[in-house]
Structure 1
Amino acid sequence: MQIWVDADACPKVIKEVLFTVAVRRKVKTTLVANSHLSVPSSPYLDFIRVGAGFDVADNEIVELANSGDLVITADIPLADKIVEKGATALNPRGQLYTEENIKGLLRMRHLMEELRSGGMVSGGPAPLGARDKQDFTNQLDKFVTRRLKEEE
Structure 2
Amino acid sequence: MPNQAPEPATILVDADACPVKEEIYRVATRHKAQVRVVSNSPFRIPDNPRVRRVVVDDGFDAADNWIAENAGPRSVVITGDILLAERCLKAGAQVLAHNGKSFDAASIGTAIATRAIMADLRAGMDGVGGGPPPFSKADRSRFLQALDRVLVGLG
Does TM, normalized by the shorter one, top 0.5? yes
* 1:28-107 correspondence to structure 2 within 5 Å: 28-107=34-113
Match of 1:142 among 122, 130, 149: 149
Does structure 1 retain, via aligned residues, the 8 Å contact 2:27–2:144? no
Rounded Cα–Cα distance in structure 2 between residues aligned with 1:57 and 1:44 = 20
- Quote the offset at 1:122 in angstroms: 1.8
Match of 1:6 among 5, 10, 14: 14
Scaled by the length of structure 2, the TM-score of the pair is: 0.91
Structure 2, unpaired ranges of 5+:
1-8
Number of residue pairs matched?
A: 146
- Quote the offset at 1:108 in angstroms: 0.3
Structure 1, unpaired ranges of 5+:
none
Larger C-alpha radius of gyration, 1 or 2? 2
Rounded Cα–Cα distance in structure 2 between residues aligned with 1:127 and 1:3 = 24
Rounded Cα–Cα distance in structure 1 between residues aligned with 2:92 and 2:25 = 24
- Quote the offset at 1:123 in angstroms: 2.2
Q: Sequence identity of aligned pairs in percent?
A: 38
Match of 1:123 among 126, 130, 136: 130
RMSD, aligned CA: 1.2
Counterpart of 2:131 in structure 1: which amino acid?
A: G
* Runs of 4+ residues deviating >3 angstroms: none
Match of 2:25 among 12, 19, 22: 19
Residues 75-84 or 117-126, more deviating: 117-126
